[in-house]
Amino acid sequence: MSVPTTTRAIVLTAPVRGEVTDKTFELKTVPLPALADGQVLLRLKAFSHEPALRHWIDADTDPARLYVPPVLAGEVVRSPSIGEVVASKSDKWAVGAKVAALAGWAEYAVVDEAMYPAHTTPSELPDSNLHSLDVLGWVGLTAYFGLFKVARPIKAGSTVVVSGAAGGVGSVVVQIAKHVLGARVVGIAGGKAKCDWVRGLGADECVDYKSATFADDLKAALPDYADVFFDNVGGAVLDNMLALVKRHGQILMCGAMDQYNGGELKLRNWSQVLFNRIDIQGFLFLDYADSNAEAVENLAKWVAEGKINGPNAHTVVANKLEEVPATWKRLYSGDSRGKLISKLE
Amino acid sequence: MSVPTTTRAIVLTAPVRGEVTDKTFELKTVPLPALADGQVLLRLKAFSHEPALRHWIDADTDPARLYVPPVLAGEVVRSPSIGEVVASKSDKWAVGAKVAALAGWAEYAVVDEAMYPAHTTPSELPDSNLHSLDVLGWVGLTAYFGLFKVARPIKAGSTVVVSGAAGGVGSVVVQIAKHVLGARVVGIAGGKAKCDWVRGLGADECVDYKSATFADDLKAALPDYADVFFDNVGGAVLDNMLALVKRHGQILMCGAMDQYNGGELKLRNWSQVLFNRIDIQGFLFLDYADSNAEAVENLAKWVAEGKINGPNAHTVVANKLEEVPATWKRLYSGDSRGKLISKLE
C-alpha cells in the first residue's frame, strides 16, 4: 500500500468547561508527520476509553498541576490504542506487527517505537485479544499497583471495598482482590444489573449506589468496616465510605468520576479522617514504571490461570471513527461493563 | 481543710446537633466519688480549651467511630486541666502537688494518679506556668508528632503551610517549623491582626482567609507549592490548598474547625489528590504515646532556649466557673491567640 500522509481523526474543538457536548469533538482530516528514525506508522484498530480524558481536555485545570500534557484545541484526542504497523523506521517493529500504543482517535498515527511509554509490553495481538487495552494496559496496571504497591499488605480475609466496581479499573480490582488475594470484596456499582455482574466477577457483595437505601445497605455490608477502600468515584460514595473505613485504614484515591464534569465533592464525614486516622493516598500507575514487568507478568499469568478477566470482562463496541466519542461518553452513562473499548469497523 | 464530697461543675445537658447554645451546658452541684487507692482529689485551677470537645458532645457521631468515649448528658464536661492535690490515696502525688490531668469543668475532680494518661509528664507547676496545658500538653504533642512522626522529613527550606496558624496547635507548628526545622512557613489565619501575630511567631508569610482575595493571595504566597500542609480547618482553606500542595506532597489532617458545627466540606479540587498523588493522613497525638518522653523533653528544651512559646503564645482568661463555657466558645469566634486557657478566679 502507499503510505498515507493524512488521516481522518477526531480532534478537540476547544477545552471543555462543564459537560462535554456534541460540539466538543469534530471529525477532520489532518496531516500525518513524516516518519522519523525510531518511529512507526500505525493503522489503528481499537481504542480503550479513559475516564481521565475528561481531565486532559478540561478548560480549568492548570496544566502545571496535571500529570500529562493537556489535549489542546485542534489536537487529535489522545487514547491508548491498538494498531498494526504499516510503515516503519524502527528496528523494533516491522510492518505487520500489531502493537499497543498511546495514540488517538484516528485511522492512522505516527508513534515512537517505545509505544505505551514504559508501562506495558507490546506484543503480537490477534484482533480478538484486546488485553493490552485492559488487563495488560492501564487499568490492569492501576489495579495491580494500587493493591500491591500503594495499599498496605492485603491479607486473606481483609475487607476490600471498591467503587466503580463494574468499570475498567474496578472490575480488575474486584477479581485480583478476590481470586488472588483472598480478600472479602465488597463492590459498589450503579443498578442491580451491574451489581449482579460484579458478583459474577467474584465480589462477596455488591451495593447499588443508585438505591434509596444505599447508605444503610453499605453499612450493612461492612459490619467490621473496610481495611482498604479503592475509590474511583468520589461523591456520596466516598462520603459514606469515610464512616466505614477501619481505624488506621486506607483509602486509595484512583479517580473521582462524580467530579469529572465539574461537580463539587460534598463531604459530611470528613472528620472521620481524623477520628479514625485514615490515610488517603492519590496514586497513578505512571509512578510505578519500575515494576511494570513484574505487573504484566503476574497479570498475564492470572489471565492464563482463569483467575481474572475472562472474555466477558470488557465491553467491546464496533464503531465507525465518527462514533467513537459517543462510545467514550458511555463511561458517564454507566451502561458498560469492565473496560470499554471501541473497535474500528 | 475538710475534703469536699460535692463540687460545682458544668455538665452537658444533652448531646448537640448543630450549634452549641446557651442551653448546651449548665452549672450544677454534683457528688464527688470517694477516693479509691491510686486516686487523688484535685482542686482545679485552669482548663485548656479543646476544639475537639465539639466532637465529644456531638449527637450524631457514632461512638464506635470516635477516639474517646463521648461526654454523655449529665456528665461533667471533659477538659485537660491543671489542679492542686487536696487529698491523696496515691504514693505518687502528695497533698499540695500541682499537676496536669484530664479532668473537667469543675472546682474539684477525682482523677487517677496516672493523670494525663500516657501523654505528658505532670510536674510541679507554679500557677503562672501553664505550659502543661499548651506546649507540653496536647497541642505541643500534636504539633510535635505531626511534624516529626507523621510528616516525611522536613528539611531546611521545605515549605510548610499551616491553617489555624493563630490557634493552639497551629501556633506551635509555626514556631517549630520555623525556629527548629528552618522551613519556609506560611500561616493561614483569619484577619490582619491575627496574621500579624502569626508573623510575630516567625511565619515568613501569613495569608488572611477572611480576605476577598484569599485564593489569589494564597497562590501568590506559594509559587513553588507546599511540601507539607498541616490542616486544622478544612473548608475553603483545604480546597484551595489541594491545588497548592506539591506533587507527591502531604496533607496532615489534624482538625476541621469549619466542619465542627455540622457543616459540609465542599471541595472543587478533589481531583488534585489524584493528579499530584497527594497523601492525606489523619492523625492524633494519642497514637504516639511511646514517644511522649522524647517529645516533652524536646519541647521543654525549645521553650527554655526561647525558640518556641514565649509568654505571649497563649491566651489566658480569668473566669468564674460559670463563665468557662463562653470562653470555650471563643475558639469559634476566633478572637484568641495560641492556646486558649481559662484560669479559675
**Is A63 within the bounds of a domain?**
yes
A142 found inside a domain: yes
Residues A230 and A248 in one domain: yes
**Best residue in A57, A274, A277 for a mutation probing chain B (most B CBs within 10 Å):** A274
pLDDT mean across residues, chain A: 92
Query: Does B293 fall in a domain?
Result: no
Higher pLDDT, B240 or A296: B240
pLDDT at B117 over 60: no
Distance of CA A305 to the CA centre of its chain: 23
Per-residue pLDDT at B119: 41
| Mean pLDDT calculated for residue range A49-69 | 93
Q: Are residues B159 and B248 in the same domain?
A: yes
- From chain B, pick out residues whose CB is under 8 angstroms from the CB of A65: 243, 272, 275-276
Distance from CA of A257 to the nearest CA of B (A): 9
Mean pLDDT, residues A327-341: 91
Contact A276 B282 (CB under 8 A): yes
Look at residue B122 and tell me whether its pLDDT is greater than 80.
no
The confidence score (pLDDT) of residue A128 equals: 45
- Shortest alpha-carbon distance between residue A163 and chain B (Å): 15
A192–chain B Cβ distance below 8 A for any pair? no
| Across A45-54, A146-155, A240-249, B144-153, least confident range | A45-54
Q: Are residues B159 and B110 in the same domain?
A: no
What is the Cα–Cα distance from B189 to B336, expressed in whole angstroms? 11
Task: Examine residue A306 and state whether it is found in any structural domain, yes or no.
Answer: no
Domain CATH code at residue A241:
3.40.50.720
Same domain, A153 and A274: yes
Residue B321 has a pLDDT of 98
Chain A residues close to B265, C-beta within 8 Å: 265-268, 270
Cβ contact B65–A275 (<8 Å): yes
Query: Could A270 and B259 be called an inter-chain contact, meaning their C-beta atoms sit closer than 8 Å?
Result: yes
Q: Is the pLDDT of residue A279 over 50?
A: yes
Q: For cell 442491580, name the residue.
A: A192
Give residue-wise pLDDT tens across range A10-40: 999 999 998 999 999 999 999 999 999 999 9
For B47-74, the pLDDT digits (tens) are: 999 999 999 999 999 999 999 999 999 9
Of the residues B149, B163, B275, the best mutation for testing chain A's interface (the one with the most A CB atoms within 10 Å of its CB) is B275
CA angle, residues A337, A342, A344, in degrees to nearest 5: 150
| Cell numbers standing for residue B125 | 507547676
Contacts of residue B153, Cβ cutoff 8 Å, sequence gap at least 6:
none
> What is d(CA A266, CA B214) in angstroms, rounded to the nearest whole number?
21
List, as ranges, residues 42-61 from A with C-beta within 8 Å of B: 55, 61
B308 lies in a domain? no
pLDDT tens digits, residue range B156-186? Answer: 999 999 999 999 999 999 999 999 999 999 9
Do B127 and B153 belong together in one domain?
no
Give pLDDT tens digits for A80-132.
998 889 999 999 889 988 888 899 999 999 999 876 643 444 454 444 457 77
Contact B274 A280 (CB under 8 A): no
Helix (H) or strand (E) holding A74, with range, is none
Q: What's the CATH number where B336 sits?
A: 3.90.180.10
> In this structure, are B104 and B221 located in the same domain?
no
How many inter-chain contacts (A to B, CB under 8 Å) are there? Answer: 103
The verdict on residue A1 lying in a domain is: no
Instruction: Work out how many domains chain B is built from and give that number.
Output: 2
CA distance B278 to A59: 22
Helix residue spans in A121-264 (DSSP H): 138-145, 168-175, 192-201, 214-221, 235-242
What whole-number distance in Å separates Cα of residue B299 and Cα of residue B176?
9
Distance in angstroms (rounded) separating the CA atoms of residues B174 and B180 = 10
A244, A275, A276, best to mutate vs chain B, most B CBs in 10 Å: A275
**Structural contact between residues A82 and A132, judged by C-beta atoms closer than 8 angstroms:** yes
> Which pLDDT score, from 0 to 100, does residue A150 have?
98
Q: Which helix (H) or strand (E) holds B328?
A: helix B324-333
Q: In this predicted model, what pLDDT tens digit does every residue of B307-336 receive, in sequence order?
A: 997 666 788 899 999 999 999 999 988 888
- Which is more confidently placed, A76 or A1? A76
Per the domain annotation, does A228 fall within a domain? Answer: yes
Q: Nearest Cα to B77, choosing from B322, B283, B331?
A: B322
Residue B297 contacts A, CB cutoff 8 Å: no
State chain B's mean pLDDT as an integer: 92
B184 and B237 fall within a common domain = yes
User: CA B325 to CA B319: how far, in whole Å?
Assistant: 10
* Radius of gyration of the CA atoms of chain A, in A: 20
Give dist(CA A312, CA B138) in Å, integer: 55
- B27 and B92 share one domain: yes
Average pLDDT over residues B238-255: 98
Burial-class residue B2 by CB neighbours within 10 Å (0-12, 13-18, 19+): exposed
Residues B234 and B322 in one domain: no
Could you tell me how many residues make up chain B? 345
Closest CA to B285 of B171, B129, B120: B120
Kindly state the percentage of chain B with pLDDT values over 90. Answer: 77
Establish if B297 belongs to a structural domain: no
- B3-19 pLDDT tens trace: 899 999 999 999 999 89
Q: Is the pLDDT of residue A339 over 60?
A: yes
State the residue range of the domain holding B260: 138-286
Q: Check if the beta carbon of residue B69 is closer than 8 Å to that of residue B6.
A: no
Q: Whole-angstrom Cα distance, residue B253 to residue B245? A: 13
Interface of A with B in 97-136 (CB under 8 A): none
CB B219 within 8 A of CB B244: yes
Measured CA to CA in angstroms, residue A89 lies from A2, A39, A42, A92, A286 at distances of 15, 5, 12, 9, 27
pLDDT of residue A100: 84
Integer Cα distance of A92 and A6 in angstroms: 24
My answer on whether A180 and A41 are in the same domain is no
Residue B211 contacts residue B138 (beta carbons within 8 Å):
no
pLDDT band at B97, cuts 50/70/90?
A: confident
The per-residue pLDDT for B214 is 98
Q: Please check whether residues B157 and B257 belong to one and the same domain.
A: yes
Pair (A142, A282) in one structural domain: yes
